[in-house]
Amino acid sequence: MPCKDLQAQLPLYAGRELDVVQSAALGRHLESCPTCASTAKAYAADVRTLNHYGRELVSQAPAPDLMARLRPMLGRPQPPAAPTLRAAARRKGGAFL
Ligand SMILES: [Zn+2]
């Protein structure tokens, strides 16, 4: 199979989402093709980065009591919105808008 066709599978290979047969075939190609092997290596690094930051995001999950603490605040009236430049200009006769 030409490199062009195999390279479309490299992200899936890096993410271990190919089936065993496809993965083995691609692995054999990577042993003999430095271009695809280099691209595969870059995808593998991307997968490691995504896995690292994915775990970090999970560890930053909101506190379990967050909704209980926010719920009383949700019923409170909202403060008035700050006036926009357009509204201010209308009040002053549209001097600059
Ligand atoms: Zn190749």
pTM of the prediction? Answer: 0.56
Distance from the CA of 8 to the center of ligand 1, in angstroms?
11
Residues 6+ apart with CB under 8 A from 17: none
Distance from the CA of 3 to the center of ligand 1, in angstroms?
4
Distance from the CA of 22 to the center of ligand 1, in angstroms?
14
Distance from the CA of 83 to the center of ligand 1, in angstroms?
60
Distance from the CA of 51 to the center of ligand 1, in angstroms?
26
Tell me if residue 97 falls in helix, strand or coil: coil
Long-range contacts of 33-39 (CB under 8 A, 24+ apart): 33/3, 35/3, 36/3, 36/6, 36/7, 36/10, 39/7, 39/10
On the question of pLDDT at 95 being above 70, the answer is no
For residue 13, count CB atoms less than 10 angstroms from its CB and return exposed for 0-12, middle for 13-18, buried for 19 or more.
buried
- Of the pLDDT bands very low, low, confident and very high (cuts 50, 70, 90), residue 74 is confident
